[in-house]
Each structure stands twice: as structure tokens, then as C-alpha cells.
Structure 1
Amino acid sequence: MAEYQVNKGIGRSPEFKGLKSQYLFIFAGGLLALFVIFVVMYMSGIDQWVCIGFGTISASALVWGTFRLNARYGEFGLMKLQASRNRPRHIISRRSFHRLFSATSKKRSV
């Protein structure tokens, strides 16, 4: 009797040709946007060779850039990079230096 592994991809991020998770969505969204731009350019009457050249060059740049980001930052690297940019660089405290380290007692009002 043969044993089959069922659902062996559960819990793993989606992957296609080495692109993982967010890069896969950037890649697909970018190609879709380039296709729409290509169609708009062609329908507006621009020469077809200009449209094909633009589409080829920009799609190549998108593929190269997406795979470069994937190799450079890894699966969760872009989210980590964005989170590091959004964190505060300095904590601002308006208290005097002496009050930061001295014990303060709170007055209770009845």
C-alpha cells in the first residue's frame, strides 16, 4: 500500500519560482499594472513597437528588481525594513533629568 502525504504545504508561505509571499504579490501586481499601461498606450495610438519596447524593458526591470529584493531582504525583510523606518528614533521626555531618576510620591486626594 502506498502512503501519500496530504496537505504538506499547510502553514508555509506561498512560493513561485523562488519568490516568496509579499514579493510574489509585488511581482503579480506589477505585471498587471504594466499590462494595463501597455493596453492604454496601444489604444491611444502610440506605435506598436514603442509599446512593445516599453513593455519589454519595464517588465524586465520589474522581474530583475523583484528577484533582487527577494534575494536581498528574504521572506519577511521588507516588513522588517518598513517597521524599522516607522519606529521612533528618540524617546522624548519633557521631565527634568533629576526627576527621571528620583522617586516621586503621588498625592492622594480624598
Structure 2
Amino acid sequence: MSTSITLADYAHARAGDKGNILCIAVFPLNPEHYQWLKRELTPARVGEQFAGRRPSAVKRYEIDSLQALNFVLDGALEGGVTRSPGLDRHGKSLSYLLLSMQLPPPH
């Protein structure tokens, strides 16, 4: 039995930006896994996953009515749309970085 899973097997995500702030909303594929997501997908773990982007802060907002977690990563977009030389200055593809995270499986 595997000791970890890939988040993409249990959730989907959408990313957006505002200046130099990256926002990623995560939704479980199965509503039964929402509590597991709340337990395992912590701001600290998300910060570790995005360490290479050097966010200055990672905040998590729980949206129980939608069974969603919204992560806000300050300073994660290399200065934002008008300053970053990166290919994806808006951070739209960064939801896939989060979805590649390894977590303990739900039980």
C-alpha cells in the first residue's frame, strides 16, 4: 500500500493572480475528501511546495459552503505581470505545481 498519493488524484484546482499575489483554490473531486484536504493541505505544506517561488506568506481560507480551500501566496509571482520575466506571469499553470504535491492518502 502506498504511503503517499498525488493531490491531483483527489482534487482539482484553479489559479489566478492579483499583482504579485498568487491565489489557488482547491476542490476535492469527492465531497467526502474535503475534511481530509482541510487536515492535510496546510499552509506550511503549500509553502514547502512553492519554496522555489519564495512566497513571503501563505494564507489559507476555508470555504465550507463550497467545500474549497483558497490559498493566497504573497510575493510568489516574481513581481507580478508587469515585472516578471517568467513565461506564466499570471500564475495560471501554478495550480499544477500544487496538484503534484504528495500527501498521505485519505482514510
Q: Which has the higher helix share?
A: 1
Q: Which has the higher strand share?
A: 2
Q: Pick 1 or 2: higher relative contact order, CA cutoff 8 A, min separation 6.
A: 2
- The alignment's TM-score, normalised by the length of structure 2, stands at 0.30
